[in-house]
């Protein structure tokens, strides 16, 4: 590496720290709540002896026996102020172990510009840093799901404090009273996003959080709580420090999130019933019901929680419910959501109107409802988890996030994981094209588009959530391919991304059947596009990072699997 490149890379990957620290003259209402958690920030890290983790154990070893939101008028949004927080963290050795691509330094610099500060401490990254855009909308906020790749990049670079402050800040927001009109949301709901506001006259920072009351369609984010649990585990695995997860506040936060999902009701399935727009696809796109993205994240959050919950009176009862739910959920997903060539042929031959517990067509799916495209799309070798399964309805679309998370969480068996990667290779043109990665495939259009999306002008065919290509998904593809032992898939995808991302200004998404065009409404310097690329690069250079976001299959679940013959 040239001396100039080495210097640029060193500057770009230097930890957030140094410089002046801003202190407010007095605390706002939101800040006063921080005092309850301030003691958590100063706890010394523990030296944890590396022992056999929960991920390597079988679940059979466990026995079964007033809304404080502040108005935004008169405040300035606080992000990238050029003021450093003053904390110092160790750097990973990754940046010194390889010759980085020229855009790596640019990506790190762009990521650091997006950092948001609260009382001088970094608490997240804004969604996009696009000064060319006339409408800011909510892209100047810190989204829980959007921050995950940023957090992973910082963790892999040895910068832990920003992730810790984010986890604590969102945990504090969870405790706020949440109302939409006159209806109160569940206590465990995590915010979709929050915004730091600075009053320059009083020099005070405050936070305004959005729990869905400002979102398109007014839908609460189901995925935020799951991502929070997954990120808490990633922080714990990366630092080797269990003291944060062990605090009473974090233990309560986990319990509140999962209590929302494990409550008993009218459900006859172990999957979660959700509204449209409750996850990354946050607009009307026909994913209501039991979307694969939510089910895979739910499964991963349950397994992550098992490794962190204490075995006290409250924890033990929840652990028992988690173990029972995981076994039922894994069987349901592997049996009814999985599609390969043989299963497609079986569904094609289904009989209908079966009124018995011995019914083969348990959901009474009408074979004529199978779309024509899936017969051509399904290769002889390969398979995937379809988008949705509910009474008389199967959504055969491919969704990238759900399938990648299924691999990382081991919701997919090793054989199914290989089959998903086989499908990606067999259908590279359709799913990857010129820019990784299709959020879903295929796009819906014409009359179906009008009915399903309500004529949404943003989700036209092959654009945005309707078959658009999202660079952020490259980190999930990379992690999944490394876990399956197929890193060449990730390298090929990363090479494609590197040829365009910097030149195009790290856009939010790409349009077109092959993903050739920068999205018509895509923001430039989209933070998770930047962070997703960096995480993918660091995973390829040091695959040991995979441990913080990968969970192994539990032995207790293996006997429950039947069917999946596409790879034999």
Q: What share of the chain is helix, strand, coil (3-state, %, to 5)?
A: 45, 10, 45
Residue 103 has pLDDT above 70, yes or no: yes
Q: Tokens for 416?
A: 């199914």
pLDDT at 227 over 60: yes
Helix, strand, or coil here: 183?
Answer: strand
Contacts of 498 (CB under 8 A, 6+ apart): 101, 103, 533
For residue range 497-509, what is the model confidence (pLDDT) as tens digits? 999 999 999 999 9
Q: In the structure encoding, which two tokens stand for residue 13, read together?
A: 């990957």
Top mean-pLDDT range of 181-185, 188-192, 361-365: 188-192
- pLDDT-wise least confident of 131-135, 370-374, 453-457: 131-135
- Cβ neighbours for 354, distance < 8 A, ≥ 6 positions apart: 360, 361, 362, 364
pLDDT bracket for residue 216 (50, 70, 90): confident
Mean pLDDT of all residues in 239-249: 97
Confidence check: pLDDT of 17 > 90: no
- Band (pLDDT 50/70/90 cuts) for residue 146 is very high
Strands 440-441 and 393-399: antiparallel
Percentage of residues of the chain with pLDDT beyond 90: 71
* Residues linked to residue 195 through DSSP beta bridges, in sequence order: 208
**What distance in Å separates the CA atoms of residue 518 and residue 529, rounded to the nearest whole number?**
13
Residue 68 has pLDDT above 50, yes or no: no
Q: What is the pLDDT of residues 437-456, one digit of tens each?
A: 999 999 999 999 999 999 99
pLDDT in tens, 22-38: 333 333 334 444 444 44
**What are the E-state strand segments in 366-416?**
383-390, 393-399
As a whole number of angstroms, the distance between CA 59 and CA 306 comes to 9
The top-scoring range by mean pLDDT among 180-189, 303-312, 550-559 is: 303-312
Which is nearest to 529 in space by CA: 478, 480, 470, 479? 470
Q: Which pLDDT belongs to residue 540?
A: 97
Per-residue pLDDT reduced to its tens digit, 537-566:
999 999 999 999 999 987 666 544 445 554
Q: If pLDDT is split at 50, 70 and 90, which confidence band does 50 have? A: very low
268-290 tens-digit pLDDT: 999 999 999 999 999 999 999 99
Residues 206, 194: contact at Cβ < 8 Å?
Answer: no
Task: For helices 223-239 and 161-174, give the axis angle rounded to 10 degrees.
Answer: 150
Among 203-212, 419-428, 549-558, the least confident range: 549-558
The set of residues, in sequence order, having a beta carbon less than 8 Å from that of 2 and lying 6+ positions away, is none
Question: What confidence category does residue 182 fall into, taking pLDDT thresholds of 50, 70 and 90?
Answer: confident
How many angstroms separate the CA atoms of 383 and 541, rounded? Answer: 28
Helix extents (H) in 71-178: 102-113, 144-156, 161-174
């Amino acid at each position: 590496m040239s001396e100039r490149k080495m210097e640029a890379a060193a500057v770009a990957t230097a930890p957030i720290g140094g410089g002046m620290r801003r202190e407010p003259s007095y605390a706002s209402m939101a800040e006063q709540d921080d005092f309850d958690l301030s003691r958590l920030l100063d706890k010394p890290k523990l030296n944890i002896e590396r022992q056999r983790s929960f991920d390597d154990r079988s679940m059979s070893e466990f026995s079964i026996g007033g809304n404080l939101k502040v108005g935004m008028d008169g405040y300035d949004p606080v992000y990238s102020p050029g003021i450093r927080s003053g904390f110092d963290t160790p750097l990973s050795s990754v940046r010194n172990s390889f010759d980085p691509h020229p855009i790596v330094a640019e990506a790190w610099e762009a990521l650091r510009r997006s950092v948001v500060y609260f009382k001088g401490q970094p608490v997240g990254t804004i969604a996009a840093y696009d000064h060319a855009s006339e409408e800011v909308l909510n892209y100047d906020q810190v989204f829980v799901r959007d921050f995950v790749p940023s957090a992973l990049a910082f963790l892999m670079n040895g910068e832990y404090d920003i992730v810790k402050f984010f986890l604590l800040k969102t945990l504090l927001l969870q405790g706020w009273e949440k109302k939409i009109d006159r209806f109160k949301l569940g206590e465990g709901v995590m915010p979709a996003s929050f915004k730091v506001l600075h009053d320059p006259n009083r020099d005070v920072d405050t936070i305004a959080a959005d729990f869905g009351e400002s979102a398109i369609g007014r839908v609460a984010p189901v995925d935020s709580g799951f991502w929070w649990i997954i990120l808490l585990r990633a922080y714990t695995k990366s630092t080797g420090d269990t003291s944060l997860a062990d605090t009473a506040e974090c233990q309560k936060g986990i319990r509140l999130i999962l209590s929302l999902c494990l409550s008993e009701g009218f459900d006859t399935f172990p999957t979660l019933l959700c509204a449209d727009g409750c996850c990354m696809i946050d607009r009307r796109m026909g994913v209501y019901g039991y979307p694969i993205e939510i089910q895979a994240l739910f499964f991963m959050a349950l397994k992550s929680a098992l490794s962190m919950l204490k075995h006290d009176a409250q924890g033990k009862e929840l652990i028992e419910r988690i173990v029972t739910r995981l076994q039922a959920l894994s069987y349901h997903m592997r049996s009814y959501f999985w599609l390969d060539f043989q299963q497609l042929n079986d569904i094609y031959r289904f009989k209908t109107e079966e009124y018995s517990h011995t019914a083969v067509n348990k959901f009474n799916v009408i074979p004529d409802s199978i779309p024509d495209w899936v017969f051509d799309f399904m290769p002889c070798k390969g398979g995937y988890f379809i988008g949705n399964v509910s009474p008389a309805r199967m959504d055969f679309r491919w969704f990238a996030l759900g399938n990648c998370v299924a691999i990382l969480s081991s919701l997919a068996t090793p054989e199914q994981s290989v089959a998903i990667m086989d499908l990606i290779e067999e259908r590279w043109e359709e799913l990857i094209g010129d820019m990784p990665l299709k959020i879903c495939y295929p796009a819906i259009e014409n009359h179906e588009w009008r009915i399903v999306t309500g004529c949404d002008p943003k989700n036209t065919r092959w654009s945005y959530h309707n078959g658009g290509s999202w660079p952020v998904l490259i980190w999930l593809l990379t992690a999944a391919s490394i876990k399956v032992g197929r890193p060449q898939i990730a390298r090929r995808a990363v090479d494609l991304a590197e040829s365009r991302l910097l030149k195009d200004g790290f856009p939010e998404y790409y349009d077109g059947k092959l993903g050739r065009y920068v999205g018509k409404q895509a923001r430039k310097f989209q933070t998770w596009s930047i962070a997703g690329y960096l995480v993918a690069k660091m995973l390829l250079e040091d695959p040991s990072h995979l441990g913080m976001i990968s969970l192994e299959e539990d032995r207790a679940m293996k006997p429950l699997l039947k069917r999946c013959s596409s790879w034999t």
